[in-house]
Amino acid sequence: MIRKPILVVVSGPSGVGKTTIIKAVLAKRKDIIFSVSCTTRPKRPGEVHGKDYFFITEKEFKKMIERKEFLEWAEVHGYLYGTPRRFVEEAFSNNKSVLLDIDVQGAMKVMETFEDGVFIFVAPPSIEDLEKRLRKRKTEDERKIKRRLEDALWELRNIDKFQYLIINKDLDEAIYSLGSIVTAESIKVERLEDDVKRYKEEVLKDGRKG
């Protein structure tokens, strides 16, 4: 069980499969919750307001920026996306870890304020592979696919700012990797202060070791 909450940031080019990997990992864990972002992008078929995103207008989004309601926000492929600050703060105060699925610009902003966040980059095996994935999901037209591929090149140039790299060649392996990172991070001694204290006190009380 996670004791000191963690901010896990999963980033990488859009279309790389981040959402699928994240959903699979979070389905099995109760100690970490997904941060639902706000966006001005139109809803895709099947997406649910409040679950996938909060779909809001540009006017509403700009008001939220003015009120400093975002932990970070960025313009991604022509639309605005942002992480509501309140959600993350509330989760932390309830001792819950939070996972963000955000673009690389957003992740780099979060790095400035959350030094002990866990930053994971999900990359495609190649640009050709990413292009194939973007075409297969049929959610963007040709112009938007080109834009997403151009943005992906910039994002890939920033891999070295992250702590972990998952190359999504095999979905099961990628899911396993993300789950392993979250598990390993959550059982770091520095995040388990209460347990360490408890063990020390119990052992001391036991009189066996100091």
Which residues lie near ligand 5GP (CB under 6 A)?
Answer: 14, 18, 37, 41, 72, 74, 76, 81-83, 101-103, 105-106
Least distance (Å) between residue 36 CB and ligand 5GP: 9
- Where are the strands (E) in 77-125, listed by range? 79-84, 97-101, 118-123
> For 190, which DSSP code?
G
State the maximum Cα–Cα separation within the chain, in Å, rounded to a whole number: 71
Taking CB positions, which residue lies at the least distance from ligand 5GP?
Answer: 106
Beta bridge partners, 34, equal: 99
Least distance (Å) between residue 185 CB and ligand 5GP: 20
Least distance (Å) between residue 195 CB and ligand 5GP: 33
3-state secondary structure (DSSP) of residue 38:
strand
d(CA 186, CA 89): 18
Kindly tell me which of 5 and 82 has the beta carbon lying closer to ligand 5GP.
Answer: 82
Kindly tell me which of 135 and 188 has the beta carbon lying closer to ligand 5GP.
Answer: 135
Least distance (Å) between residue 119 CB and ligand 5GP: 13
Both tokens of 35, joined, read: 């941060």
